[in-house]
Structure formats: C-alpha cells, structure tokens
Amino acid sequence: MIISDSTTLIILGDLKKLDLLAVFEKVYIPRKVYEEITFKNDIKLPEFIEIIETPKNDLLSNLKRILDEGESEAITLAVEKNLPLIIDEKKGRKIAKNLGVEIIGLLGVLFLNYKKCSLSKKEIEKFLDTALSNGYGISEQLLKQFFENID
C-alpha cells in the first residue's frame, strides 16, 4: 500500500499507463489530489486506486503554508498512515523525507515494473521519451543513474 501525490498520476493518466501502479496492492489518494488530476480531464481510476479523506490537523495546516494542497494532503496521509509516498516535486520530497516518509517517484514506479518484468528497458525508454516530450522534467543525471541501475 502507498499514498500518491498528483504529478505521477497525471503523467501516467495522460499516457494511459495508470496500470503501472498495479505493482502496489492499493494506492490511496487524498481528495485534493483527485481534484487536481481530474481538473482538466475525466480520468477513470483503476479499482486499486482509492480516494480517502485527509485528517485535518496541525501537520496539514503547517504544510499548506509551504506546499500546494495536494502535496500537503498526500504527505499528511503518508505520515498518519505510516505508508510510503509517490511524489516527484523536489521540495515536497525533501519535506516528506524530513518527516520520515519513505518516498518513491515516477522512476521508482518504472523500476519496480522493470523488476517485476512488467516493462522492458526498451518500453521504459519509449515511455520516458514520450513523458519528456509531453513536458515532464527529469534531470539528465537522474536518467543516467536510473538506466545504470537497469542495465
């Protein structure tokens, strides 16, 4: 089980690849994340993705001062439920790590699919080429490290 912020869901949804998240038994998303990912498009979520309410507490209030609402709710849920978090934004990742949350990003999801033989290296390359051409930003250094780990 894992919590997810919106960026990875948006990318996977845009590329019709939400099924890649099936490497997790259950993916929980806060209501604000759901609103963010369905703002422009009506995305049909697979059964393993479930919307849950975020508890209103001091952590959430404090996070909302420095992060957007979706990230704040996702991090709060990850802390409250003691679950890992799918998050790609640098600032949110740093804050989540500082709060003791285990994090994974889009590349981590792709790596898990590779390890489970759900994706080949060639399929990952094609997916990332498409994601990058659609405006998803990822550093050359991070991509190099990623591909060194799957060779």
Any idea what the CATH number is for the domain that residue 18 is in?
3.40.50.1010
Q: Average pLDDT for residues 119-124, to the nearest whole number? A: 95
pLDDT of residue 67: 96
Residue 124, CA distances (Å) to 22, 77, 95, 120, 132 in order = 16, 29, 28, 6, 12
Q: What is the pTM of this model?
A: 0.92
**Domain limits at 121?**
1-151
Which amino acid is present at 34?
Y
Q: Average pLDDT for residues 122-150, to the nearest whole number? A: 91
Q: Under a CB-based contact definition with an 8 Å cutoff, are residues 65 and 40 in contact?
A: no
Taking CA 110 as the corner, what is the angle to CA 104 and CA 112, rounded to the nearest 5 degrees? Answer: 75
The number of distinct structural domains making up the chain is: 1
